[in-house]
Structure 1
Amino acid sequence: MLSHLVYVSTRKASCTPQEIEKILASCKKNNPSMNATGVLLYSKDKFIQYLEGDSKEIVALYDKIKQDHRHEKVMMVSYGPIKEKAFPSWHMATKQVAQQDIEFRTGITAEDKKIFDQVLNGTEQGGTKVVNLLKKFF
């Protein structure tokens, strides 16, 4: 079943820009064989990742991600079935963001900012809201 999974985690100080490049290289190498796609947003102290693909594949991938030493306090924000992929051609797109100065490609509303803050805190559970917000970064 086609599904999505969103998690938020705390980036460890030891996770350098070179480590981010390793994460992306691993995604580009491994995700195509699983037909997994998605996006990764990161700041100096947070990760937010949206994964989409076969539910078994992305849950197994999430289990591996939770064990990665480059972050901690991994919390699933949203998981569930989807009708179609939001990012079908991106095995893993990425964007660095500064939490205080977020640049959206479309207008940001007060509600968008509230949802983003809730995602960062792990309190937003609405999959559609999260996906729509993440699309504004790309």
Structure 2
Amino acid sequence: MRLGQLIYTSRPFGFDAPTLDDILLVARANNARSRITGALICRADLYMQLLEGPRDTLTDTFGRILRDDRHLEVRLVHCSDAPARLFPEWSMRDDPPHSWMWTQEQVRAGAARDALASEAMDVFARLATLPRGG
């Protein structure tokens, strides 16, 4: 099995706590079954998600995300082979945005849309070193 990592950003459509809870509930069940791990950073103006697992499974999962009407302006930021998982214990870690991430003004100006793969990977690598919610 070739391990891959995929990062995408999107703009939420109809963001609220019940929508997020539903996304996380379904993602955790599907990901555990498909051997996918990762993390979701979400706020009212941004979803940014890292998925890691078998390459073919990541492709299928990303296809479902592209068809999901809760995501607008989906952009693939990074997709490559990976030497190891950043979130091996998490079928889907969810975290609030942190002060070192983009401001709402930066997101409106296109920071997430224009992010380089290395910038997105740095966000998740840093998140992986923090305690949940930290």
TM range (shorter): 0.7 to 0.9
What's the counterpart of residue 51 of structure 1? 51
Percent identity between the two aligned chains: 23
Deviating more after overlay: 123-132 vs 65-74:
123-132
1:29-68 alignment, distance < 5 Å: 29-68=29-68
Count how many residue pairs are aligned between Structure 1 and Structure 2. Answer: 124
| Gapped regions of structure 2 (runs ≥ 5) | none
Match of 2:91, SS state, is: coil
Match of 2:90, SS state, is: coil
Q: Which one of 120, 129, 132 corresponds to residue 125 of structure 2?
A: 132
Shift of the 119–133 alpha-carbon distance from structure 1 to 2, 3 Å rule, reads: farther
Shift of the 20–61 alpha-carbon distance from structure 1 to 2, 3 Å rule, reads: same
Task: Determine if the alignment matches structure 1 residue 121 to structure 2 residue 113.
Answer: yes
TM-score (structure 2 length as normaliser): 0.81
- Give the whole-Å Cα distance in 2 for the aligned partners of 1:74 and 1:83: 26
Shift of the 2–76 alpha-carbon distance from structure 1 to 2, 3 Å rule, reads: same
- Give the whole-Å Cα distance in 2 for the aligned partners of 1:38 and 1:121: 20
TM-score (structure 1 length as normaliser): 0.79
